Each structure stands twice: as structure tokens, then as C-alpha cells.
Amino acid sequence: MPRYSINTIQKFKDNKEKFATLTAYDYTSARLLDRVGIPLILVGDSASMVMYGYDTTIPVSMDEMLLVTSAVVRGSKEALIVADMPFMSYQSSIDKALENAGKFIKKSGAGAVKLEGGTEVCNIISSIVNIGIPVMGHIGLKPQSFHQTSGYKIQGKSINDAEKIMLDAIEVQKAGVFAIVLEGIPSQLAEKITESVSIPTIGIGAGPSCDGQIQVFHDILGLFDTFIPKHTKQFANIGNYIVQAIEEYKKDVISGEFPTADNCISMDKNILEKL
């Protein structure tokens, strides 16, 4: 199966087929996502929290993101890998944005990058697209603007705000994005945007009308319990299974039940005698 590309992602919208996407941050989880046939994996800057333990997505660095992106690329053979550009890796100048987008493609092997913002980042988006790097947009609730919005707040509830987000969607499409993440906006607004653009919309907390959905790996598996966002559903609670298994391991080591003869390597008797 050849790797998904921006063309094959577009086909989902053209064929009116819903699709599920997820984040991943390491080799092993990327392999698991491939087994399920997830077409697009986002190496989200949510790595900042779930992998590196920062409070928000703001502190994570380019080097930290490059590291996790390379691991995901090595793990997944089929998905389109989208690397999330961390805060201040693209906002300060076009040159910096091009250099950093290039690092994700050249050093980590990603197939596309994502960046947050609407009309205000259109020149950055088109510059990256013009040098041959696919860009995924991200509008609505923008976690990198945490301080500007005084926390993670649903966007697009007032008429002005909704009109601005609608304009953002149209303009980032014109700037050349191949898909748009719609985060934390009312479902009805997401539906209108999805009808108004020809590229796929991928929702998180944006209702069922988006062409695709994205969720954070750790959220849907119950691996991250610092807070559980309203937009998520825990499809399993792997965290509890892990704790249970580690408790059993600890108990068996302390009681001497592990390791058993099956887990050990025996030495040749003659060699042992010489020792």
C-alpha cells in the first residue's frame, strides 16, 4: 500500500467519505495506527504536554518536535505524516518559517506541516506551499494563542467571531492549504465552513459535519488524565491496564516469582566449574 498523500486525502472529501485521523509521537504507536489504516497522522505540538510534560503547547521546541516526528515516520509506512510547527518556529519571519518547515521534511521525513492561524498567516502558508511543502491549516481554537485567549476557549460563538473564522477558512484555502483543522468551534459553524471549502476539514471539538476527525492519541486511550477535554471520548482506559500490569510485575519481583527458569539463560556446567 503506497503512502497516503495530499491527493488521496482530498479523495475522502471528493467521495464524501468520512475519515479518522490521530496524533502520534513515537515509533510504536505509529506502527499501531498503521495497522488500523489511519490515513493521516499528525505529530501534534500536543507532544509538549503528553510527551514532554509542559503545561501548554507553547514551550515545545523545534528540536523536540523533530525528534518525535522522525520516530513516527520510522514507525508508519502508510500514513501521511504531518508535523506540527511549534510556537515561534514560523511566526517571526518567512525565512524562519521556510527553514523550519524544510527541517521537518528533510530531517524528519514528514510529508507535510501544520501551522495555526487564519488571514494573519496566509503569506507564511503560501510561501511554504510555493517551495513545495504541503501545509495543513488550523483555525478556531488555537492552543498556541493560549495567553491571548485567556485559556482554551470555544471560538466562533459571536457573529463577528464566526465571520472571522469563516473568512480564515476561505483565505487559508486560497493560500494553498490541503486541509484545515477546525478546533473548538460550534458544530453549525463547522458545517458551514465544510460546505464552503473544497478541501477536507478535520474537526476536533467541531461536531460531526467535518469531513474528518482528529483526536489526541493519549486522550482516546485514557493515557493522559491531567484533564479530559469535552471534545474527546475515551475508547479505552489503557492507563489503568498499564498500572495494573506494572503492579503485578513489581509484586512478582519482590516475591521472587519473576524471573522464572523460562526467563533465564543457563551456563555450561564445565565453564561454570572453571570460573
Closer CB to ligand KIV, 124 or 181, in the complex: 181
The values of phi and psi at residue 79, to 5°, are -80, 155
Q: Minimum distance from CB of 233 to ligand KIV (Å)?
A: 14
Q: Minimum distance from CB of 138 to ligand KIV (Å)?
A: 6
Is 214 among the residues that bind ligand KIV (CB under 6 A)?
yes
Cβ burial 195-218 (10 Å sphere, 16+ → b, else e): eebebbbbbbbbbebbbbbbbbbb
Between strands 212-215 and 112-114, the pairing is unpaired
Closer CB to ligand KIV, 24 or 253, in the complex: 24
Is 23 among the residues that bind ligand KIV (CB under 6 A)?
yes
Is 80 among the residues that bind ligand KIV (CB under 6 A)?
no
Is 49 among the residues that bind ligand KIV (CB under 6 A)?
no
Exactly one of 79, 204, 220, 221 binds ligand KIV (CB under 6 A); which one? 204
Closer CB to ligand KIV, 211 or 262, in the complex: 211
Using CB under 6 A, which residues numbered 231 to 260 contact ligand KIV? none
Closer CB to ligand KIV, 44 or 117, in the complex: 44
Closer CB to ligand KIV, 151 or 256, in the complex: 151
Q: Minimum distance from CB of 259 to ligand KIV (Å)?
A: 39
Kindly name the residue from 17, 116, 171, 183 that is annotated as catalytic.
183
Q: Minimum distance from CB of 124 to ligand KIV (Å)?
A: 17
Choices 37-45, 58-66, 71-79, 244-252 (CB under 6 A): range interacting with ligand KIV:
37-45
Residues that bind ligand KIV (CB under 6 A): 23, 42, 44-46, 84, 138, 181, 183, 204, 214, 216
**Residues labelled catalytic:** 183
